[in-house]
Copies of this chain bind each other. A is one copy, B any other.
Amino acid sequence: MPRPSTGARERIVAATVSLLRRGGLSAAGLNEVVASARAPKGSLYHYFPQGKAQMTADALEHYRGLVDAQLRAALGGRGALAHRVRRLFRSVDARMAVVGYLESCAVGAVVLDLGVDDGALRARCDDVLSHWSRTAAGLMPELPAARRGEAGRLLVTLLEGAQLRARAQGDGRPLSEAARAFAAVAAALSAPSRTSSP
């Protein structure tokens, strides 16, 4: 086997992330990844000797870092919380618009493919979603400390649901509506007596 070229591993991981975003586990088969990454098939076995499970796990870990950076850039910047949340959902929209709303969250797409034998992968997906929730919670210092955890989890739930709906609609309006809704919840979390129903 020729020595895989520099960057082959990075191309394989990026291609796997993109295929997972597009269609979950069933879209990211070894042949699809090799074709998309323009990598020799031997390089898959070189970098991922444990096969598809390892390749998927590494891709999800890479994607975890990408979204983590996106959360930090948007929520960690200046401005009121509603403004920072809007910036986050706009950045997600921009990423989806570039690919014609044909890709959404890689973790979300994998979760909706999980079968009874995918316990380890399920736990990994849950870890990534929980990690993003904690990252988001830590970037909302203006919320009462006791409510930040729930706010972070809700933000990720809204991101997942809104990406799914944006993909169905083929436009970003569900993302801007979700950002507005989160701002309303954040205001309610800051003033618990206002959370009662109308």
- Show the binding face of A for B, using Cβ within 8 Å: 22-24, 26-27, 80-83, 85, 100, 102, 104, 107-109, 111-116, 122, 125-126, 129, 142-143, 150, 153-154, 156-162, 164-165, 167-170, 174, 177-178, 180-181, 183-191, 194-198
Contact = CB atoms under 8 A, between A and B. Distances in A.
Contacts of A102: 114-116
Contacts of A186: 197-198
Q: What is the interface of chain A mostly: helix, strand, loop, or mixed?
A: helix
Contacts of A150: 177, 180
Given A81-B197, A190-B198, A158 B158 contact: yes
B183 A154 contact: no
A164 B195 contact: no
Nearest to A184: B188
A59 to B, nearest CB: 16
6 tightest Cβ-Cβ pairs between the two chains A and B: A161-B161, A82-B197, A26-B26, A184-B188, A190-B198, A157-B161
